[in-house]
Structure 1
Amino acid sequence: MGTSFHGPSPWPHITRAIRTRGPRHAAIAHLGQDAPTLLPLRAGDVLVVNASRAAVRAHATSPVALAYYVDAGVRVLSSPNLHANVIATDRRAVIGSANASHSSTLAEEAAVITDDPEVVTAVRAFIDGIEEVTEVDQAFLDNATAQWQIGRAVPLPGVTSRGRSDPGFLPAKIPRMFLRHTVDFTPGPTEQHTWAAQARRHRGPAGPAAKYHLEWFHHDKSDTRLERGDVLIFVTADNEWIHPPAVVDSEAIAILHTHGAIGHLLRSRADLSPIPIPDAEQTLADLGHPNPRLRADHRIASPSLRTALLQLWNL
């Protein structure tokens, strides 16, 4: 393998490099909730992380990720002075800037991966020599969870902020929001071809981007013209379920050989679930919106109702 440099998006390379047999020792300053997808550790591995009160309160290190590794049999240690991000396997070493978080996959990061035996030994010795460490056990996790709940996210590039724009999240400023009922629709060969071509152009990076998926939305030109960044919230035709928001991720795409049909790509979070309409209506009423009109298609103009609807999924 030799020595190689990876940037500005090194995580796919790091994840592949550490999928080896034998124990892995890692010192990663901060962990996002999705750290296990980037840093796949197992029983017998050692992980040193900065899970200090300050790091947890700033939402830089997630108790959820800590608990995952502890439950998996990883020995997890917390060092309040840790700022390095290095990993050692039996044969490889990773030295870089990247924290194990989704935000890090969006920031400009870099890493060197090498199989130089001297470097591997040195990285392993560095990790094993970290002082002032605390074992992360159930009592530690309980305290960390309490600290997380009373803290707030502090924007730190590569740690808790987005860095490069994230196409899977809602826009920082939503231009428009619409509520629409779903309509059963089977795409024909022309639309299937158009969808496949557009999806390839919009395909995101591997790894964390799998948290989002693309959908094809078909409508007629006579409908309200949608624009990139608009947010759609769909309700099932039987008014039983309301689906989490989807963001228009393309300009209007003309469907050839149809009578004025157009399509858009919608990007949505794959980890969010629909909510029963009665439950959503009750929650919205508790938030000060007793008549949210979830059973009628309309443009949602009220800023407070927009915010309340997003709160249904903690967005």
Structure 2
Amino acid sequence: MGTTFHGPDPWPHITRAIRTRGARLAAIAYLGLEAPELLPLRAGDVLIVNASKAALRAHATSPAILAYYLGRDVRVLSSPTLHANVIATNRLAVIGSANASVNSIFAQDAVIITDDPNILSQVRTFIDNIDEITDVDQVFIDNATREWEIGRAVPIPGISGRVHDLEADFLPSPLTRMFIKHVVDYKLSPTEQHIMDEQQPRKRTTAGPTAKYQLESLRIDKPSRIKRGDVIVFVSVDNEWIYPPAVVVSEPIRIPHAGGAVLHFLRIRTDLSPLPLTDSESRLTELGHPGSRLRTDHYVRSPSLRTALLDFWDL
């Protein structure tokens, strides 16, 4: 293989390079919700991250993803001084700037992938010598979740901030992709439930304002066009109700042992109510959209129809 350079979108090359037998050592400073797809680690691998208080409060490292890797029997450790991003497999070394997050995908990142044995040995030595190491366990994750909830996403290119851009307003701007989709009830797997529990803000135990936003999940069992930033308008299975728009706030997260199924996180407004579907269809017909197809799952191509649907909730 030799030595190759990959940028500005190195993650497809990284993911491909580390799909190999044998234990992997990874020192990746910051992890977003997309990390399991970008960095497919398994039992026996070692992952060192920066899950310091500063990183957690900046939403640069997700406690839910730490829990995910622990559930996969990956040994996870945290070092507050870690800023590098390197990986060592049994025959390749990856060295570069890419964090395991969707923010890295949008940034100008680059890596070198090499099979040079001297460099591979030096990368392993570097990882072995990272100091101020703490084992990540459930107690660590519980504390990390509290720090996450205290903080907020900050605009650090390549690390965090992309989520904040999406969440600054409820709907993305401009809104160009909307889907009509029927609600499908299913029971969350233990992995899905754990990720949801870690990401969902804890309920208040004291008086205070009612939360305006809530995190929900969407499981998709078949290949789908849905991606981060899309808006989904759900319809009840019995075609009686149409629900307020939900915004997709994560790339697909592969669900282990689920036959290729993926999980998306959705952000919803708790102050908006569902509307009767028949009445909504009548209103759309009056507005010049007699063929709104609200009873069929589809991609809403018409900008005017997207606008009319959002107007139902004054959005």
| TM-based fold match above 0.5 | yes
Q: 1:174-253 maps to which residues of 2 (within 5 A)?
A: 174=174, 213=225, 233=233, 235=235, 238-240=239-241, 242=243, 245=246
Contact 1:176 1:301 in 2 (8 A): no
Task: Output the TM-score relative to the length of structure 1.
Answer: 0.62
Q: Distance in 2 between matches of 1:10 and 1:36?
A: 16
- CA deviations 1:223-253 (Å, max 9, x no partner) are xxxxxx9967353582245385589xxxxxx
Work out whether 1:131 is the aligned partner of 2:131: yes
Query: Does 1:4 find its partner at 2:16?
Result: no
If you compute each CA radius of gyration, which structure gives the higher value, 1 or 2? 1
Evaluate the alpha carbon distance shift between residue 51 and residue 302 of structure 1 in structure 2; reply closer, same or farther with a 3 A threshold: same
**TM-score (ref. length: structure 2):** 0.62
Deviation of 1:149 after TM superposition, in Å, equals 1.4
How high is the sequence identity, in percent, across the aligned residues? 53
* Amino acid across the alignment from 1:36: P
Deviation at 1:78, TM superposition (A): 0.5
Are 2:144 and 1:144 equivalent residues in the alignment?
Answer: yes
1:67-216 aligned at under 5 Å gives the runs 67-162=67-162, 172-174=172-174, 213=225
Show CA shifts across 1:149-193 (max 9, x none): 121111111112349x99xxx9742469999899xxxxxxxxxxx
Letter in 2 for 1:242: Y
Q: Is the 8 A contact 1:11 1:38 kept in 2?
A: yes
Cα drift, residue 86 of structure 1: 0.3
What's the secondary structure of 1:15's corresponding residue?
A: helix
Counterpart AA for 1:239: E
SS for the counterpart of 1:94 is: strand
Deviation at 1:108, TM superposition (A): 1.1
Residues 32 and 246 (structure 1 numbering): CA distance in 2 closer, same or farther, change over 3 Å?
closer
Q: Relative to 1, partners in 2 of residues 1:305 and 1:35: Cα closer, same or farther, differing over 3 Å?
A: same
Q: Which residue type is aligned with residue 106 of structure 1?
A: F
Partner of 1:5: helix, strand, or coil? Answer: strand
CA distance 1:180–1:88, change in 2 (3 Å): closer
Q: Across the two proteins, how many residue pairs are aligned to each other?
A: 232
CA RMSD of aligned residues (A): 4.0
Tell me, yes or no, if the aligned pair for 1:50 and 1:83 is still in contact at 8 Å.
Answer: yes
C-alpha distance in 2 between matches for 1:172 and 1:31:
23
Shift of 1:143: 0.3
Q: One-letter code of the match for 2:75?
A: R
The CA distance in 2 between the partners of 1:106 and 1:155, in whole Å, is 13
